[in-house]
Structure 1
Amino acid sequence: MNATAVTPLTTADAETLITAARSAAGTAGVPVSVSVLDAGGHLLAFRRDDRAVLISGETSTRKAYTALQLNAPTADLVDLVKPDGPFHTLQTALDRPLLFIAGGLPIHRDGHLIGAIGLGGGAPEQDHSFATAALEQLSR
């Protein structure tokens, strides 16, 4: 079997993601926190704008962790954990809390999950768009 090794998410990649996300948020005038996790769920990079609400640091990391663990954008998971949703107990099922609010995206390279990015500080839709802008920059 000749499997090609996938390049893991690097610190340079993480800095590109943080810079791009903060640029998108800055253009919108929104102070944010940005978290980038590697494929193992470990924090690779983090940045909180001076004016970002303090809780955004925690929410950005939890959004990234949720996107990584479920390999899905957190925006796509919101309805699944509502009281009548199929995964309504998932929010409290693990030792490390998941956060089902838009703003977390998995990161793929060559079809493989290599990490995740999470944004906090703006409205959920804004955080999602800033994370999307960051991934677009990374893929250039």
Structure 2
Amino acid sequence: MNLELAARMTRAAVDKAAEIGALVSAAVVDQGGHLVHFQRMDKAEIAGPTLAVDKAFTAVAHRIETAELASLTQPGADLWGLQANGGGRFVVFGGGVPCWHDGVVVGAVGVSGGTTEEDVACARAGLAVFESFLSDQSAP
């Protein structure tokens, strides 16, 4: 995950948000969960910057979309209590998507500010840029 690619990913997420009428913050982290690039749309909510980064961090740390964690963290489920760990950084609702390459999570994109569905759609738009980049790299 490099700065240029991460910037393209956050741009795609923000562009998707503008297309669907959402106001979001978008973040990309590397495989260690460290912030590589961040964008916040004008007038986006104040919680978005923290949540976008933490959604991306959670997706890297657990190698799963944060939307998939919702059911796994309900009382009695396998990961019950996860959201109370990691210094409160683990987000268990949609908007964080890991970026896989050769069976390894090499980064993630996180989006916050819209509805859960909007955040997921925007994060997946960022992921599509990553996947396109990988396809271009493997082309002859």
Using the size of structure 1 for normalisation, the TM-score is 0.89
Equivalences for residues 31-46 of structure 1 within 5 A: 31-46=23-38
How far does residue 96 in structure 1 lie from its aligned partner after superposition? 4.9
**What are the Cα deviations for residues 10-58 of structure 1, in whole angstroms up to 9, with x where unaligned?**
1011011011101111001111000110111111011111110010111
Residue from 100, 106, 117 that aligns with 2:98: 106
Aligned length: 132
**Unmatched 5+ stretches in structure 2:** 133-140
Deviation at 1:111, TM superposition (A): 2.7
Kindly indicate whether residue 120 of structure 2 is the aligned counterpart of residue 120 of structure 1: no
In structure 1, the residue matched to 2:135 is none
| Equivalent AA in structure 2 for residue 61 of structure 1 | V
Which position in structure 1 is the counterpart of 2:136? Answer: none
Following the alignment from structure 1 to structure 2, what is the Cα–Cα distance between the partners of residues 40 and 108? 13
| Aligned 8 A contact 2:94 2:116 in 1 | yes
Corresponding residue for residue 128 of structure 2: 136
**Alignment partner, residue 14 of structure 2:** 22
Structure 1 runs not aligned, ≥5 long: 1-8
> What's the counterpart of residue 58 of structure 1?
50
Number of the residue aligned with 1:4: none
Secondary structure of the equivalent of 1:117?
A: strand
Q: Which has the higher helix share?
A: 2
- Supply the distance in 2 between the matched residues of 1:84 and 1:26 (Cα, whole angstroms): 39
Overall identity of the aligned pairs, in %: 33
Deviation at 1:97, TM superposition (A): 2.1
The match for 1:94 is 86
2:107 match: secondary structure: strand
Tell me the SS of whatever aligns to 1:95. Answer: helix
